[in-house]
Amino acid sequence: DQIVTDIAVIDVDRENKRLRLRETAPGWSFDDVQSRTAVALEVEGDLGTMV
């Protein structure tokens, strides 16, 4: 499953109860998105940019 917003694409791992930030909108960083998200996000590998 995925959550897609104007600023991010987030993968939902229901089995492990985790959210993984996959991509951010141009000009947005992990910290920008995390500061606007109520739950902890994880990043694995390179963070992509939404097109």
Task: Return the C-alpha torsion angle 38, 39, 40, 41, nearest 10.
Answer: -90
Task: Name the residue ranges covered by the structural domains of the chain.
Answer: 2-49
- Those residues whose C-beta lies under 8 Å from the C-beta of residue 45, and which sit 6 or more positions away, are none
The whole-angstrom separation of Cα 36 and Cα 22 is 16
Structure tokens at 18: 């985790």
pLDDT at 46 (0 to 100): 92
H-only helix segments in the chain = 30-34
| Per-residue pLDDT tens digits for 2-45 | 999 999 999 999 999 999 999 999 999 999 999 999 999 999 99
pTM: 0.90
Structure tokens at 1: 């499953």
